[in-house]
Amino acid sequence: MRRFSERSHLVTLSEINITPLLDLAFVLLIIFVITTPLLEQSINLKLPHGGSPHPVVDKDDIRTVEITSTGYYKFEKKNLTEAQLISKLVQAKQTHPNLIAFIRVDEDSRYKLLAGLFDACQKNGITIAMATDPRKDQP
């Protein structure tokens, strides 16, 4: 009789309880849903006022370049020098002929950085678009 009870005990151990696994999956899903929008934010810049809303363009043709108030170029979430940045933009221009360099500049950054980037983009035929905060009082 003892052997029979031990066998039935082993049968119940061979079943897998998936409830904790489902609980873990739902918790991970909730964590990813909450953290994904936070990961998409970039540098917190104070954009100068002016300009108008942007026209509709193909998102594959846009490359965002950010210039911080401390003088760093940021492209594809990496800090780069001006030469490295221009090299990456020229490579992107070869694969996307209608490339637009969307430039976000902090209002406290040095003009020298922006002017150098403008000149290099113009020499390489890269279209430039500036990001500003549109004025609220414009029609």
Name the residue ranges covered by the structural domains of the chain.
Answer: 2-39, 59-130
Query: Which residues are 133's β-sheet partners?
Result: 49
59-130: which CATH topology? Answer: Nucleotidyltransferase; domain 5 (3.30.420)
- The residue ranking higher by pLDDT, 82 or 38, is 82
Q: pLDDT tens digit string along 22-81?
A: 999 999 999 888 887 766 666 677 777 776 665 666 777 888 888 888 878 888 888 888
- Is the model's pTM score more than 0.85? no
Neighbours of 105 (CB within 10 A): 23
Strand duo 62-67 + 73-75: pairing: antiparallel
